[in-house]
């Protein structure tokens, strides 16, 4: 299977920073498990989950609109400046509104001060917007470097505030605020942000046009939050914050799948938006979909097999039962990645309405199953709800585009991988220790074999990139 080399190079660039950043965040999980008790970790997870919804609704998803406008109008300086100025007008209005609301809300008696939570949300908002700006300006290397920088800052801040000053939950939150704030200042200086911000370029026509594109994405974001965030409130409400802390550990481990999606999807999306030949897009899409399904399913098998041994040796014993829920969450996140992959076609067509409709369907399925099952199967309920919701979205989107661009999924390798997945799950949950280690070996072998072509192409791309760097050909 021939893989688009430009896509591979862009994927590597997108991967460099975010992967490093996410790896840092991943290895902070064991650190947090020994520092924070279940209640604190559950509370922290609720704050992060809530911030995602607040940022999406509060900014009207204007960052997505900015990226789309810059990809269309990057050559025209006036259009570019106008899009950036208008988007920041929305961002500044959102920040002002958050500050007013924060001031109006009485201080609670929880472990985190409300002002720190507000500051965290603002820094997440600004950094996310600036990352989209870097993507829209095609500054992929800067995007990668800042992500690496952010990860290093987060690690250092956590070591100092938690390891030395023993600030616990407050230290975790402050670490995120500090790392985000420094990166915001760096990006603003590096790209001369003030030169793009002109008050006279803010006008209602451009602003309405951008919001018209982004507003349906707010409903989509709410639906996605209901898919991946509302379950935290269901767990906290039915089972308590301690259970949410255990679920958070499982969710953070399974988020490795999202890591793969976070660097592959932007590169794929960029390629689609730059591609003027619709026939070429249709030809590549089916090949890339099958490649992605194989990669994700083999990764689910591999990570599921390693979940128990990771939790046993890396996480505090009070979170041990988290391993049980990881395979379900991994499968759900794999389906999330596939729905996002097909969703890039909606972005290409600016069909945000269908994005919203399919996301609403998935969120309804997720909520119903989560609430109905949580009392009977405990934390498996939200996991199965998420899995079912993303499966519903994937099937609807798949059959919608199957008629339009002739998507063909290769069933034979899919059935083989699914059979191996069932065997690994049996070994993980029911077999003795010897069979469990055999399943790990099979999972690793399977992952290497089915992704060998992708691995070779990746190796060639890295080698060629390094050779060009040595010879000065950039």
**366 touches 227 (CB < 8 A):** yes
Domain range spanning residue 425? 5-471
> What's the pLDDT at 456?
73
Q: Residue 342: which of 395, 302, 292, 398 has the closest Cα?
A: 398
Mean pLDDT across 414-420:
95
For residues 29, 30, 34 and 39, what is the CA-based torsion angle, rounded to 10 degrees? 30
pLDDT at 4: 57
- Taking 90 as the threshold, does the pLDDT of residue 438 lie above it? yes
Q: Is the pLDDT of residue 466 over 60?
A: no
Q: In Å, how far are 466, 467, 468, 469 from 473, measured between CA atoms?
A: 10, 8, 5, 6
Residue 12: per-residue pLDDT? 67
Place of tokens 């308590």: 240
Summarised one tens digit per residue, pLDDT across range 184-201 is 999 999 999 999 999 999
* Nearest CA-CA partner of 345 in 413, 398, 297: 398
Over 50: is that where the pLDDT of 23 sits?
yes
Quote the mean pLDDT of the chain. Answer: 87
Listed residue (136, 150, 142, 149) closest to 69, CA to CA: 136
Q: What is the pLDDT of residue 114?
A: 86
Whether the per-residue pLDDT at 468 is higher than 60: the answer is no
Burial 285-303 (b: 16+ CB within 10 A, else e): bbebbbbbbbbbbbbbbbb
Instruction: Tell me: pLDDT of 62 over 60.
Output: yes
Cα–Cα distances in angstroms (integers) from residue 427 to residues 14, 97, 251, 314, 443, in the given order:
36, 52, 21, 21, 11
- In this structure, is the dihedral angle defined by the CA atoms of residues 133, 9, 179 and 215, taken in order, positive or negative? positive
Q: Which residue has the higher pLDDT, 220 or 60?
A: 60
The reported pLDDT for the residue numbered 439 is 96
Q: What pTM did the predictor assign?
A: 0.86
Q: What's the pLDDT score for residue 202?
A: 93
118-146: average pLDDT = 92
**pLDDT by residue (tens digit) across 347-361?**
777 777 788 888 889
Number of domains in the chain: 1
For residue 15, name the pLDDT band (cuts at 50, 70, 90).
low
Note the pLDDT tens digit of each residue in 76-118: 788 899 999 999 999 999 999 999 998 887 766 454 578 899 9
Please report the pLDDT score of residue 326 as a whole number: 97
């Amino acid at each position: 299977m021939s893989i688009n080399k430009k896509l591979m190079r862009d994927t590597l660039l997108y991967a460099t920073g975010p992967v490093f950043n996410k790896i840092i965040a991943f290895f902070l999980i064991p650190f947090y498990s020994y520092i924070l008790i279940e209640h604190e970790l559950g509370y922290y997870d609720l704050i992060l989950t809530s911030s995602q919804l607040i940022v999406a609704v509060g900014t009207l998803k204007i960052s997505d609109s900015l990226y789309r406008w810059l990809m269309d109008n990057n050559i025209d300086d006036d259009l570019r400046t106008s899009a950036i100025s208008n988007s920041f007008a929305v961002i500044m209005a959102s920040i002002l509104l958050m500050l007013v609301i924060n001031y109006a809300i009485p201080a609670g008696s929880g472990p985190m001060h409300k002002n720190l939570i507000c500051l965290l949300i603002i820094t997440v908002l600004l950094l996310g917007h600036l990352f989209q700006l870097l993507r829209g300006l095609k500054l992929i290397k800067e995007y990668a470097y800042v992500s690496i920088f952010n990860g290093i800052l987060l690690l250092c801040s956590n070591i100092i505030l938690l390891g030395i000053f023993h600030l616990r939950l407050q230290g975790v939150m402050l670490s995120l605020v500090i790392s985000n704030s420094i990166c915001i200042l760096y990006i603003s200086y590096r790209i001369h942000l003030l030169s793009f911000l002109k008050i006279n370029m803010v006008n209602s026509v451009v602003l309405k046009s951008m919001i018209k594109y982004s507003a349906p994405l707010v409903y989509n974001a709410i639906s996605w939050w209901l898919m991946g965030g509302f379950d935290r409130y269901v767990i906290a409400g039915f089972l308590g914050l301690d259970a949410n802390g255990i679920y958070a550990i499982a969710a953070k481990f399974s988020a490795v799948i999202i890591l793969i999606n976070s660097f592959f999807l932007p590169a794929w999306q960029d390629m689609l938006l730059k591609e003027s030949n619709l026939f070429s897009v249709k030809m590549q899409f089916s090949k890339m979909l099958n490649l992605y399904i194989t990669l994700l399913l083999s990764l689910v098998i591999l990570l599921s097999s390693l979940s128990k041994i990771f939790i046993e040796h890396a996480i505090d014993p009070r979170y041990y039962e988290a391993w049980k829920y990881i395979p379900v969450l991994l499968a759900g996140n794999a389906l999330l990645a596939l729905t996002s992959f097909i969703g890039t076609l909606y972005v290409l067509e600016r069909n945000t309405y269908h994005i919203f409709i399919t996301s609403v369907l998935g969120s309804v399925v997720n909520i119903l199953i989560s609430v109905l099952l949580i009392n009977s199967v405990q934390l498996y309920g939200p996991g199965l709800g998420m899995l079912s919701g993303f499966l519903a979205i994937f099937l609807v989107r798949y059959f919608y585009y199957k008629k339009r661009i002739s998507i063909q999924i290769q069933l034979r390798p899919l059935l083989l991988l699914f059979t191996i997945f069932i065997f690994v799950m049996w070994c993980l949950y029911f077999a003795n220790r010897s069979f469990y280690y055999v399943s790990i070996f099979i999972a690793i072998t399977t992952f290497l074999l089915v992704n060998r072509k992708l691995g070779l192409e990746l190796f060639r791309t890295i080698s060629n990139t390094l050779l060009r760097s040595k010879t000065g050909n950039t």
